[in-house]
Amino acid sequence: MGTADIIRTIVQEFPLALYGSILVGIVCAFLGVYIVARRVVFLGAVLTQVSVMGLALTFLPFFPVPHTIGSLAITLATVVIISRMLTGKKIPRDGVLGVVFITSVAARILIMQKAQRVEVAEIENLLRGDILFVTPELFELMVVAFVVAMALHLLFFKEFTYTSFDPETAQTQGFNAAGWNLAFYLIAAVVIAFATHMVGDLFVFGFLVIPPVSAMLLTRNVKAIFILSVVIGILAPVVGLFLAFVIDVPASPAIVAVASVVMGASWLWSVVAKRG
């Protein structure tokens, strides 16, 4: 199969996989800049695991709600509970996130033990990130989450940047730093819950971290970091999906691998630029 045939196959047979992974790539790469800047990278891993645990919970008879709604509800509830703890000084952030992470993983394993065999396979598919089988309903939900998240962040760019850079002074200037902090985490939770359901935890966590870090290696301009991160968030899924077809490997790991290669190249470039 030639290059043109592969591209035609992806566009014609798997358009939702292509556009869905680009959507997730953009929004995760954008939010990821804040996540890396706020030094809560582990939050991305935690929320993807909480989201998957919430998803798994919906397979049990006592939580009979749609998968995405269940996942979203559990993720939002977790964010509300931990957001205050993340800004407090009693327990280190890593400690809070570590507890939530390991509890979610343990709960998911226990839930999978109690789920029906066929459903266990379904949960495992979600964990691997089967982006080739994105449903139109899920894609539409993701579009809504994408539009809302990006609109809020672009409209309130100065509030999010100020309260992230210097929450103490922002508070003295009348900005409710804790409120904006919670708003940020809630938006991240909605995006992560939908995105994880759609493309899997590997893809989501990868794109919350790798494009922002790559962009930070490439430029010293804050706006350019956001733009470059989003550009990587668009290009890596396209190239990764193409390579997944060419060498016949799962899509999500291929896409994350491409992003990692971009990061490696960015690091090399930053080293060379520094010496030059």
Q: What is the DSSP letter of 262?
A: H
Residue 172 Cβ vs other proteins, minimum distance, rounded to whole Å: 4
Q: Which is nearer to other proteins, 168 or 248 (CB)?
A: 168
Residues that bind other proteins (CB under 8 A): 33, 36-39, 155-156, 158-159, 161-162, 164-166, 168-175, 216, 220-222, 225
Residue 18 Cβ vs other proteins, minimum distance, rounded to whole Å: 31
Q: Which is nearer to other proteins, 104 or 214 (CB)?
A: 214
Residues 6+ apart with CB under 8 A from 266: 213, 214, 215, 217, 218
Which helix or strand (DSSP H or E) is residue 193 part of? helix 177-199
Q: Which is nearer to other proteins, 119 or 166 (CB)?
A: 166
Among 202, 183, 204, 162, CA closest to 26 = 204
For residue 99, count CB atoms less than 10 angstroms from its CB and return exposed for 0-12, middle for 13-18, buried for 19 or more. middle
Q: Which is nearer to other proteins, 127 or 216 (CB)?
A: 216
Residue 222 Cβ vs other proteins, minimum distance, rounded to whole Å: 5
Residue 3 Cβ vs other proteins, minimum distance, rounded to whole Å: 38
What's CA 145's distance to the chain center, in Å?
12
**SS3 of the chain: helix, strand, coil, percent, to 5:** 85, 0, 15
Q: Which is nearer to other proteins, 61 or 174 (CB)?
A: 174
Residue 204 Cβ vs other proteins, minimum distance, rounded to whole Å: 21
Contact 203, 21 (CB under 8 A): yes
